[in-house]
Structures are given as structure tokens and as C-alpha cells.
A and B are shown apart, each in its own frame.
Chain A
Amino acid sequence: MSLDQPNTALDPRCPSGPLAERWTKHLSEIKLVAPANKRKHTIIVVGTGLAGGSAAATLAELGYNVINLCIQDSPRRAHSVAAQGGINAAKNYQNDGDSVWRLFYDTIKGGDFRSRESNVHRLAEVSTEIIDQCVAQGVPFAREYGGTLANRSFGGVQVSRTFYARGQTGQQLLLGCYSGLMRQVDAGRVTLLPRREMLELVLVDGKARGIVARNLITGELERYAGDAVLLATGGYATAYYLSTMAVNSNASAVWRCYKKGAFFGNPSLTQIHPTAVPQLGDYQSKLTLMSESLRNDGRVWVPMQPGDKRRPNDIPEAERDYYLERIYPSFGNLVPRDIASRQALYRVREGKGVGPTGVAVYLDFKEAIGRLGRQVVTDRYGNLFQMYEEIIGDDPYETPMMIYPAPHYTMGGLWVDYNLMSTIPGLHVLGEANFSDHGANRLGASALMQGLADGYFVAPNTVGHYIASVDLPKVGTDHPAFAAAEREVNARVTKLLSIQGNRTVREFWWDIGRVMWDQVGMSRSEAGLKEAIDTIQGLKARFWEDVRVPGSADDFNKSLELAGRVADFFELGELMARDALARRESCGGHFREECQTPEGEALRDDANFAHVAAWEYRGDDTEPARHIEPLDFEFVELKTRSYK
């Protein structure tokens, strides 16, 4: 199918042939833009995280004109910054049998066989180049005494392929990416526009040709025109209100594109990370992640008796249930994230939850301190213990830590083909914002890898292919499509400010978050999901009648920004529930209570659901349409994940 037509048939456009040769073959077959012509093309990149920042810098290096926007005050603050653990790459520096194939297979299997083989193999292939690039930029990865790079094993995989920079891997990678971006800003190749929020996509002749963004300082609406639009706006777990994401993370940019015709892939697939600091009160605005590595030495337990209110150290060994070790004797505390999270939920439902709210489980280091000594535990986890103590005010060396799962990553996102192009010609989606290579569950240390793979190596090539393949007549910001888009934004903003009801935006956000967490969270049922759809629709209606947004539109107005994002969460939340309802199987982070084995384990349905569900917007009053991209597994055999 031609690249300038909407890809509503969901053609993945994957190359054929041997899996390991597909990306190379694709690179040698795609069209190129001549060096002298590149500067005649403008590319708009929204977002400056690992995916957006690396794409903007790389496209500028190639010679394109790049316009790069972010909602933060500096590109360096994009939420990639928060990743702690590390980044995977199939370097096999440790000589422990790692390979591109093994990383590919681990990712496909970890994703519960709900991702595309071609994409995932490409991801594993370029992973090695990512490390080379980051080192060349001066990213200070951890080193051995001999000067070579250090690796660790992460997230329960059997090889050590994770590169890291103390507990700041995301920060250091983003700073590397940001430095490359700022070099291009200095060279005049990238126009950097911080504190801008994309509020509308502009289509001309069905192709993505620009955006309308709000200047968050002055409130002015600004128009940007280009030949392609790249969205790298991250995930949307803030729809749950409490999550480990930054409080400004949002879905508005992808949502505007969805409503302009981009299909939304697997919206319900969300990763709930098992080791966050639990919520202690309703005032809380954010959940803090504690690195997954804690489960390497900590033991998870709850009291055997429901409602046991004794202090943890007063509960004798015989009355403790080390439930992960009991249920999964071979993996124990190191079971994948989705399983650890779900089991914690079950304990809480059984009334065995701990802490002041009864919504937490213990993570105990007493045995580790006994076995390794306090010093070793401090070396490994000292900073995390300190962070925990800051938040909770308890000393984890003495009292077991309390942890509870938290929404952490969204595998769902805008549907894209092998070229990372959405169903709208010219609209490319990178990083967490696309429906992604992680299938139904993402492995630890793979998010950074995907962001940089998309931005450094994939998009710079495939965007050029698009530009060289389609006819792109010059479009300026005076085109009527821009004025129309701007009117839409204005109408929305005016409406938000005009309601002046009785409830604050945050109250509504809290409400939708509650529904999402209870019914579209770790464990989902048909009845619950149906109820959630009803509740969300009711909340949405009430929001548009009763919200109070203070301030004005032509000013720095955080409440207005938030109102627009929360308004989108209602619609997105509903779609997430619909997607979860339609996917009548359990896979990865998606667990349907109707679909489980007698032992309570996830029951996948490969016969009916080995596909990507991509949702099409058909108007506010019409139900969205669910389309399917079948996933063909030519190279791997579908297996049931078992961690017993």
C-alpha cells in the first residue's frame, strides 16, 4: 500500500526473509533523501525524552530542519530521567552466552507473545549500537577496574546484559541525548521550544503536516508546519492518578492524534510495577518506585492471619506467609513484575495487607542482612533504603519495608508499522508513546533501550524513507487547516474556563484514577470493566458541567494545563476499559479474572487473541471500532510462561 494513504488495513510493512537480515535488508531497500534536499525538509518532533531527543538530534545531524518541543522547561527533564535500573544490550561482554537472538527471545517471551517478531528482533540488533553511541557521547557507565564496561543481571533474566550508571541510568542516558540535541541547537539545526504543549495535529490532504501547540508561559497558540510529525510523548499511566510517572506525564498529544484518525494499539496493556512505596494517604500525588533489584535479596511476605495488626517484628516466622516462595518455588521472589504485582493484590484482597492502610506487603531484608552482613546490604541498596526512610520514616534495616504495586509503564500506545508510522501518513510515533515492542509486559531495563533504538537508529531512516516516497507540496502555517485546528483548541480551552463549577480538576483526576486502579488495574473482570465504562462516562459528563478551572487562557496556568489532560484521561480511560473488556484472555500485565487456570495463573488464548487490537475513533457519540493486526510467529514457538 502506498505510504501516503491512511494505513487503516494495519499493514505492518515488515520486510520478509530471514529474521536476522530483515532490518539490514530494509535499510538497503528504503528510499533516501539526497543530502542537499534534507535541509529543505522540516520535521516536527514532540517530546525530548530518550526517543524524541535522540530522534531530533539525529535527524538534525543528517541535515534536516528540526523543530523540537517539550512541555518541560528544559529537554533534560523529560521523564526518561527517572529510570533507575539500566539499559539492556546484547553485547555479550560477560561471555555468558548472550546474543541478539537471546535478547530478542527474552523480550518476545517476557511480552507474553503479543509483539511483532520483526520489530523486536530489530530492537535487539540495534541495542549494541546504542551502547556504543552512548559511550561515545561520554555517558559515564559503570566500569570494571580494567576499564571495561560493567554489567549486571536485571529483572530475572539469566544473563548479565544490563548497563548502568549508579542508580541514574535514565538520567545519564538522557543527558547524553540532551547534550547531542543541544549541540544541534547550537549549530542552528534544531529549533528548541520548551514549555510548549501540543494540543492539535494538523492534517493536510490526509497527511500529518503540522501541529498547534500552546506556549505554556504566555498561553498563546502557536502553529508549526513540517513534512512529518514525530510523537515521542511518553506513557499515560497518570490516568491512574497515582503512578510512578511524573505528574505532568499525559496522553493529550497521542489522544489528539487518535481523534484525528491514528489507531490506538492495545490501550489497556499497562505495567504495574510490584515494588513501589505504598500509598499512605489520600493527599498523595505520586508513587515512588523502589528499584526492582530489591527483590534479589528481599523476601516478600504477609501475615498468615487476615487482619493481623501486630508490628512486623512481633509476628513469628511460623505465622508469616512468604507467598511468592510458596507459590513459585523455582523463581521465588524473582517472578516477573506482573505476577509479583498480582499476588500482592490477592493478599490485600484476602485481608492480609499490612501497614496503616492495609494495602501493602512486606519486603524483608532480615535474612539478607544475616546472610550477607549489613555492609553488603548497604552497598547494594543503601540509597534505596535511605530513600524509603525519607518517605515512610521507618528504618528498613530494622523494620521490613512496605511495598505495593504501582502503575509504571504503558505498553499500549498509538499503533505503528515497522517504520514507526501510525495509520496517519507522516505521523510517526516513538518510544513509550507507540504501542511498542514490549507486547503485554515489558522486561526491566528495556524501556530505555527501545526509546533510544527508535530515536537514534529507526526513525531517522524510516522518516527519510517516508519523505522520499511521498509527494509533499509546501504547506505553510497560513494553510486553512491550521486555522481550523487552532479554532478547535480555542473552543476547548474556552469551554474549560467557562464552566466555573464546584469541583477542582484534581478532584476529578482523583476520581478517575480510583476507578482505573480498582477496575482497570492489576486484575480485571467483565462486570468491573463494564461498570468502569459507565462510571467514567458519568464522571466525564460531570466534569464538563462542574469543573472549576481558575485563571485565564493567556497566562501561565497550571490548572488549565491539567484540566485539558484530565479531560483526555476520561476518554482514554474509557478506551482502556473497552480494550480490556474485549481482550478476553489473560496475557502479561493484562489479567482477566475469567481467564485463569484453576491455580489462579494467567490463561492466554492464542487461538483468539494472538493479535494487536487497534482502536479507531469514530466520533464522540459513536463507539470506537476495534481492528486487528494478527501476529504471525514464524520464528518462535508460543509457550506458556511458567515460573513455578
Chain B
Amino acid sequence: MHFTLRIWRQSGPQAAGRLERYEIDDINPDMSILEMLDLLNEQLTRDGVEPVAFDNDCREGICGTCGLVIDGVAHGKKHLATTCELRMRGFVDGTTITIEPWRAQAFSVVKDLVVDRSPFDRIIAAGGYVSANVGSAPDANEILIPKVDADLAMDAAVCIGCAACVAACPNASASLFTAAKIAQFSYLPQGQTERERRVVRMVEQMDAEGFGDCSNHGECEAVCPKGISITNIGVMRREYVRALTGQLR
């Protein structure tokens, strides 16, 4: 297969970026898109051009490191897949593929297609945990959790933190990411004691990082490689109301 690639190149956070055009041949349809970029980088290195920087690690869709906007869609047009899971057989031979980084004011571009997602870590640090010091845990089966609740919690917990939700949101909102963690704990008995504090602090941090507001477009769910539902965002709002009314008590 042959492709024309238009790839965002940017030397650093402050530098101006631009789309550069590259031609690439001999692409095996079974290759992943990241393997195609590996090949491009080999070619560029031999030609004395600096290779394209892109983040990736596990290459099996679980670590959440990779993430490219491919032809305008975060993680490409294929649903329920991360960038590394995209195979070239899913693209039309001879076409042009445009590859851009996640774009959000909260995520500065480190280089080329690599962005800084540390705001997500700070959102978790603000309350995405259950305070349980090692040594103080009761026997695991003393906490009974109905299967339904455990499953709902798991549905939210599958988030891999890739930030495609932010990239795809027309408002660059981090609501789905933040809400998934809040929802996970809202379903579990372990999460109850810090419930109000959690939602208030996490939302506060999310706002402080400069993410946009949510307009319920639902693009986030559509690009989420793990299919996390926007109903979790509804849970976040319920939890917020709960914290507010608790305040009035």
C-alpha cells in the first residue's frame, strides 16, 4: 500500500507547528498505524531528517499512552480501538492520512504528536482515590458488593486515561474522564465516606486545569476506546448535587 501522510510537526511547546507531507510505500495491510510511523521514522533517520515524535508503549490498547487524531477523529474512525490497534487494512490504499496531536489548551504539545497529559494525574490526585492505608483493610469479603454495582463500577473503571475524550470534545472538556472515576467510586461502598469531598475537589481541579465545559455532544463516548458511557457524566452531576445539598443540611 502507498499513503501520503500529513503529519503535525512542532519542535517544542512554544514553537509554531505545521503539517508536513511525507510519502510512504510498501505498507503491509496487517501493519498497525504505529508500525507504519516506525517505518516512516526509519526512512527519515536514513534521510537525515529528525523522526516524528509520538507517544506509545504497550501497543495492545491498554496503557493509554498512544493517541493521534487521524483524519479528524481521535484514535481514528474505528470505534472501540486505540490508535495502536488500527491496522492499515482499515485505510484506503493511495489516500492521504492527516495525523494531528490531541489539541486542548490544558495539554501543551511536548513535541510533534506528543502532548502533556499531566492535568489528568492532578485531577486524580485531587480525589480520585479511597483513603485506605496499607494495613488497615478489613477482610476482602467483609465488604459485600452486589454484582450489579460491581459491574457498574467496572464499566466506569475501564478508563485507560488516554484523553481521547478531551481531544474529541468540541469544547475540550475532560468531563468523561473525571466523571468515570467519580462514578466508579459512587457505586462502591468503599467510596462512600469521601463521596462529597471527591466530587467537589475533582471538579474544581478539572476546571482549574483549563478544560472546557461539557455541552453533552457525546463525541467523547464515541471515541472512547473502552466505550465509557456519558451517563457517567450524569452520575458526576448527581454526585455534585448531592454534595451541594449536603452542604445545605
What 1/0 mask marks residues of chain B from 90 to 129 whose CB sits below 8 Å from any chain A CB?
Answer: 0000000000000000000011001011101100111011
A residues 213-238 in Cβ contact with B at 8 Å: 217
- With A74-B120, A82-B58, A246-B63 in contact, is A61–B134 under 8 Å at CB? yes
Question: Which among A129, A283, A555, A558 is the interface contact of B28 at CB below 8 angstroms?
Answer: A283
Question: Which among A140, A183, A280 is the interface contact of B153 at CB below 8 angstroms?
Answer: A140
- Cα–Cα distance between A284 and B64 once the two chains are bound (Å): 20
Are B125 and A133 in contact, CB atoms less than 8 angstroms apart?
A: no
Are B144 and A558 in contact, CB atoms less than 8 angstroms apart?
A: no
Binds A, one of B164-172, B185-193, B213-221, B240-248: B185-193
Are B51 and A168 in contact, CB atoms less than 8 angstroms apart?
A: no
- Chain A residue numbers with a CB within 8 Å of B136 are 136
Are A82 and B62 in contact, CB atoms less than 8 angstroms apart?
A: yes
- With A73-B118, A133-B132 in contact, is A390–B85 under 8 Å at CB? yes
List the B residue with the shortest CB-CB distance to A504. Answer: B45
Are B56 and A168 in contact, CB atoms less than 8 angstroms apart?
A: no
B160 within 8 A of A: yes
B42 within 8 A of A: yes
Q: What total of chain A residues lie within 8 Å of the partner, measured CB to CB?
A: 80
- Cα–Cα distance between A77 and B56 once the two chains are bound (Å): 10
Are A137 and B117 in contact, CB atoms less than 8 angstroms apart?
A: no
Interface range on chain B: under 10, 10 to 19, 20 to 34, or 35 or more? 35 or more
- Cα–Cα distance between A15 and B120 once the two chains are bound (Å): 44
List the A residue with the shortest CB-CB distance to B226. Answer: A168
List the B residue with the shortest CB-CB distance to A146. Answer: B144
List the A residue with the shortest CB-CB distance to B123. Answer: A182
B157 within 8 A of A: yes
B91 to chain A, nearest CB (A): 14
- Cα–Cα distance between A618 and B139 once the two chains are bound (Å): 49
- With A136-B136, A559-B45 in contact, is A168–B57 under 8 Å at CB? no
B208 within 8 A of A: no
- Cα–Cα distance between A390 and B144 once the two chains are bound (Å): 37
- Chain B residue numbers with a CB within 8 Å of A186 are 125-126
Question: Which among B35, B124, B134, B144 is the interface contact of A284 at CB below 8 angstroms?
Answer: B35
B residues 145-177 in Cβ contact with A at 8 Å: 145-147, 150-151, 153-154, 157-158, 160-161
- Cα–Cα distance between A460 and B117 once the two chains are bound (Å): 30
- Cα–Cα distance between A504 and B51 once the two chains are bound (Å): 11
A193 to chain B, nearest CB (A): 11
A301 within 8 A of B: no
Binds B, one of A173-181, A256-264, A621-629: A173-181
Are B58 and A81 in contact, CB atoms less than 8 angstroms apart?
A: yes
Are A138 and B140 in contact, CB atoms less than 8 angstroms apart?
A: no
B46 within 8 A of A: yes
- Cα–Cα distance between A54 and B133 once the two chains are bound (Å): 11
List the A residue with the shortest CB-CB distance to B162. Answer: A77
A563 to chain B, nearest CB (A): 11
- Cα–Cα distance between A142 and B147 once the two chains are bound (Å): 8
- Cα–Cα distance between A281 and B31 once the two chains are bound (Å): 9
List the B residue with the shortest CB-CB distance to A559. Answer: B51
B188 to chain A, nearest CB (A): 5
- Chain B residue numbers with a CB within 8 Å of A148 are 141, 144
B143 within 8 A of A: yes
Are A283 and B87 in contact, CB atoms less than 8 angstroms apart?
A: no
List the A residue with the shortest CB-CB distance to B161. Answer: A76
- Cα–Cα distance between A167 and B12 once the two chains are bound (Å): 38
A residues 1-47 in Cβ contact with B at 8 Å: none
A185 within 8 A of B: yes
Are A183 and B131 in contact, CB atoms less than 8 angstroms apart?
A: yes
What 1/0 mask marks residues of chain A from 107 to 147 whose CB sits below 8 Å from any chain B CB?
Answer: 00000000000000000000001011111111011111111
A141-B150, A390-B85, A555-B11 given; 8 more Cβ-contact pairs under 8 Å: A61-B134, A75-B121, A77-B58, A136-B137, A141-B140, A143-B150, A390-B87, A457-B134
Seen from chain A, the residues whose Cβ lies within 8 Å of a Cβ on chain B are 54, 57-58, 61, 72-77, 79, 81-82, 91, 93, 129, 131-138, 140-149, 165-166, 168, 170-172, 175, 178-180, 182-183, 185-186, 192, 194, 217, 246-248, 280-281, 283-286, 288-289, 387, 390-393, 456-457, 460, 504, 506-507, 548, 550-551, 555-556, 558-559
**7 pairs of residues in contact across A and B, judged by CB atoms under 8 Å:** A74-B117, A77-B58, A82-B62, A140-B157, A284-B35, A504-B42, A504-B46
Seen from chain B, the residues whose Cβ lies within 8 Å of a Cβ on chain A are 11-12, 28, 30-32, 34-35, 38-39, 41-42, 44-46, 48-51, 53, 55-65, 81, 85, 87, 89, 110-111, 114, 116-118, 120-121, 124-126, 128-134, 136-141, 143-147, 150-151, 153-154, 157-158, 160-161, 184-185, 188, 190-191
User: What are the 9 closest A-B residue pairs judged by CB atoms, nearest first?
Assistant: A147-B144, A179-B129, A136-B137, A136-B132, A132-B137, A182-B125, A186-B125, A143-B150, A135-B140
